[in-house]
Structure 1
């Protein structure tokens, strides 16, 4: 028996026989220098390999089964990567300037992109390098003369692969796949999205997979802990089988109640919405009982593109989202990009401290033409009647008024051009900077709602980079300063008569949600997969208990004491939830635990 470690991306446990879809082909890439006469033909060779793969995935897009149709959007993103000059253009430049073969040049271009992505602050965007590697790997295969043929699956199997591309989805017999395990991939990779759509366990980033596992091996995929157990001993197999049935019973229980409202035993109603990046996630939101989209991250539409999206493209995307979700409300966050969220068409900025630099609303005000295009698209889509707009990283009154002035200008333009839009479009702001928290009472008079972004609020309040391994343990959601800041924002919003929601990771943390409920927050927005479990916690709680817990937390002088107090209370009140709940979160374990 052996255990391989990876990253859990879809919860559950599955026991079956291994079946390899593909392997890396593991040999080293050929590295050759070319005579000048062969440089031109080598660039043509690279173009042909790219075009061959592009044709294959475009054809695959048309063959995707109806129940997986939303994955066509990921294929679109891979086509964007193929056409992005930061990949193909740089590779061809290396062929031309260094006189090297296409395989080597493409590898160097990917390495350049990896360096850029490693500097990003946002985990979602850092994980996009996995998509670049997948695309590059498939082009490398075409350069080596390999075909895209998929082996037939004859019985139910645990599917293993170096990676699973969106194009593979079209050819897979998904009803025969019990679980997914890959060498490549991160928490937000396509493999995880596919597995969650199919409702099967998945573990990615298992680096030793190809060396340790053979076709036909008996394996247990533990998507709760992120491990793959090879040839388990009888006692371990019995234990994992029992855990599998317990989890399936728990999952069935929370799914049965996921479409019920988030309402406590004594009648307090808390709206539970979802955070998403792409249209393809909408079915997951609806299936998991999401009551709307509390945060739509519009940055994805700007990623991996040779050109900026047009107003018409954005309008259609936002209108489709609103129409599909109707009558549930959709909150569109304007472009939250910058040096920490790479938008290739804007180029990289030379900033010594990008976290405090030209990003989010500041970047939009700097590139007013880009911002105006997005605002016009949002306004036009608002005819659906269920769209709200919010501005990120607001530090004070001036930025709100500047953004609202541009929104008014966009309204005037559209009115003059004869376009329809919702004149009463609700406008809100992200409360994620300490400066905004301190003047929450002033800002509340300017907007229709607040949305508290706790991920950045905690980082900026505590001066902690949660991606820095030396200090990430100090990233504490229940630090007294953080709890008091959130309560101050909630109180200020309610005094002004506006709604306040919270869309950071605290919204999907069972140790934090009862405290937020004690503050009488109006709405939480979280990863779609976490909604059923959080709703069940809400429905088993009482407001008296939540208010009493909040009182104790506010009286606690230290984060250590707060964490101990909260853990004791939550474990006592929700023992069943905490046995499995953390495995359902599409993120690292919260430092509050």
Structure 2
């Protein structure tokens, strides 16, 4: 048995023979042409046909994976229409008097290299896209059909990597799962794979050999492992894991569309925690009522410099639109403590958990804060966005935040930019100080969300990053639960709602306790939505 370790893209267990994806090798030859205008016309006709193919793929993707994930094929159409891209191809044909295939291939190589060299992770990802659309063009020009999967029986698809157009065209009835040598968990391919619920592992490296074609294998999408020629013991264990997963999915599917209501009629909202726009598919797939925590700091962690207003606006807008009217609560940047970013140039601190972080950075560096707030308010015109502020300890902080918010709204009005005036504003309750003044804080905001990870850390005076202290770290500690109860009581006394977005929200042992406290919302990882719904519906 050979064990390969990679990165999980989507959980699940797939058992079957490996089929290596046979991609047509495009041998592009440089051919001298006499009539360059005729060659340009041939290119333009091929481009029109490629655009029609992409429109068809877009329609298919809309039906299979939804609008947000089908957008890649609209982006590919736009790439084919890009002026710089077209001008490069025209120039190479005209000046070098060569065939269109060669001009497209050369342009693709140049553009892909340019994108790959950029610092921005999003732009780096476009290198694969420009290659994908160019290969489609060359296939049309050379009269080749589209590549694809050719297997008579369901199989585990293996490849060096799969581009979006290949992934969406996979016949799901023939695909048990897929494994790739390369790829990124934030790529369009990974997003589509998650949304299509195909067990997948990427980044297996060149140990994933084409020599494995036809061999029996197992993908364990939960652990990120692929077993080639599995032994009897591994096969037995994986079949049991697969059966357990199947039963769980059946159970969860039965709960989709059901209310989060106890037997006695008490209702609670179930929302999802996400770290990036790519997680939206999981939110929808697991039937969450909304997004209760969008960790915006990942925009900063993934960048080499401060994300611009436009970058942030694009992400927040897409999140709002993708959730189609459901609430999306976006937490302003929570940098500091265990989340360090070099370009913030934060000084080394003796105790960063108690240091310069989150709202403390925002209030002392308002230019960073205002950029994010402008992007958030602009995006509010496209859906149900709410804004949440982390690490609050005092009423004055909230009042200062509200002053800055008013300045931003005034600027946007003067610039004639549309936004929603009634955006809900809430705060994280994650310090004992916030709990103790929670009644006063509730007068200033629309909602509370309890960050139980930090609240436990600060209440117990235990660094949650210190593994030596694990035996002492008790999130079920009576003091922690009492803090949550007090915050809930304060919120309700002022007519405000309260949720929990920390790890404790997904703790099934505490669901009933939270219901008794009157917690209005639980926000958890997408995979925990339906198990918690089950627990709620079974509770008296």
Aligned length in residues: 444
Whether contact under 8 Å (2:21, 2:149) holds in the other structure is no
- Structure 1 residues 5 and 376: CA distance shift in structure 2, 3 A: closer
> Any residues of structure 2 matched to 1:526-545 within 5 Å, and which?
526-542=524-540
Whether contact under 8 Å (1:332, 1:389) holds in the other structure is yes
- Give me the whole-angstrom Cα distance separating, in 1, the residues matched to 2:476 and 2:304: 42
- Give me the whole-angstrom Cα distance separating, in 2, the residues matched to 1:413 and 1:305: 26
Picking from 152, 164, 168, the partner of 1:169 is 164
Whether contact under 8 Å (1:258, 1:536) holds in the other structure is no
2:41 is aligned to none
- Which 5+ residue runs of structure 1 have no aligned equivalent? 23-58, 77-109, 114-127, 139-148, 543-593
CA deviations on 1:286-305 (whole Å, 9 max, x unpaired) are 23211112112223444544
- Give me the whole-angstrom Cα distance separating, in 2, the residues matched to 1:323 and 1:190: 18
1:460 is aligned to 458
- Give me the whole-angstrom Cα distance separating, in 2, the residues matched to 1:473 and 1:205: 35
1:274 is aligned to 272
- Give me the whole-angstrom Cα distance separating, in 2, the residues matched to 1:522 and 1:277: 22
1:257 is aligned to 255
Q: Does 1:154 align with 2:154?
A: no
- Which 5+ residue runs of structure 2 have no aligned equivalent? 23-50, 76-116, 129-138, 140-145
Q: Does 1:401 align with 2:399?
A: yes
| Shift in Å, 1:447 | 1.2
> Any residues of structure 2 matched to 1:83-94 within 5 Å, and which?
none
- Give me the whole-angstrom Cα distance separating, in 2, the residues matched to 1:227 and 1:319: 36
Q: Classify the secondary structure of the residue corresponding to 1:260.
A: coil
- Structure 1 residues 188 and 442: CA distance shift in structure 2, 3 A: farther
CA deviations on 1:91-128 (whole Å, 9 max, x unpaired) are xxxxxxxxxxxxxxxxxxx9xx9xxxxxxxxxxxxxx9
Whether contact under 8 Å (1:288, 1:528) holds in the other structure is yes
TM-score by length of 1: 0.63
Q: Does 1:348 align with 2:345?
A: yes
Whether contact under 8 Å (1:304, 1:343) holds in the other structure is no
- Give me the whole-angstrom Cα distance separating, in 2, the residues matched to 1:451 and 1:489: 9
Whether contact under 8 Å (2:68, 2:322) holds in the other structure is no
| Shift in Å, 1:273 | 0.9
| Shift in Å, 1:498 | 0.9
- Give me the whole-angstrom Cα distance separating, in 1, the residues matched to 2:326 and 2:407: 28
Range 328-337 or range 297-306, more displaced: 297-306
- Give me the whole-angstrom Cα distance separating, in 2, the residues matched to 1:255 and 1:447: 36
| Shift in Å, 1:355 | 3.1
CA deviations on 1:122-150 (whole Å, 9 max, x unpaired) are xxxxxx9xx89x98x99xxxxxxxxxx99
- Give me the whole-angstrom Cα distance separating, in 1, the residues matched to 2:211 and 2:68: 32
- Give me the whole-angstrom Cα distance separating, in 1, the residues matched to 2:437 and 2:207: 53
- Give me the whole-angstrom Cα distance separating, in 1, the residues matched to 2:312 and 2:528: 28
Q: CA RMSD in A?
A: 4.3
1:10 is aligned to 10
CA deviations on 1:540-571 (whole Å, 9 max, x unpaired) are 222xxxxxxxxxxxxxxxxxxxxxxxxxxxxx
CA deviations on 1:24-77 (whole Å, 9 max, x unpaired) are xxxxxxxxxxxxxxxxxxxxxxxxxxxxxxxxxxx9x9988555674699999x
- Give me the whole-angstrom Cα distance separating, in 1, the residues matched to 2:227 and 2:472: 33
- Give me the whole-angstrom Cα distance separating, in 1, the residues matched to 2:222 and 2:309: 42
- Structure 1 residues 239 and 325: CA distance shift in structure 2, 3 A: closer
1:501 is aligned to 499
> Any residues of structure 2 matched to 1:329-348 within 5 Å, and which?
329-338=327-336, 340-343=338-341, 346-348=343-345
TM-score by length of 2: 0.69
- Structure 1 residues 71 and 287: CA distance shift in structure 2, 3 A: closer
- Give me the whole-angstrom Cα distance separating, in 1, the residues matched to 2:285 and 2:214: 34
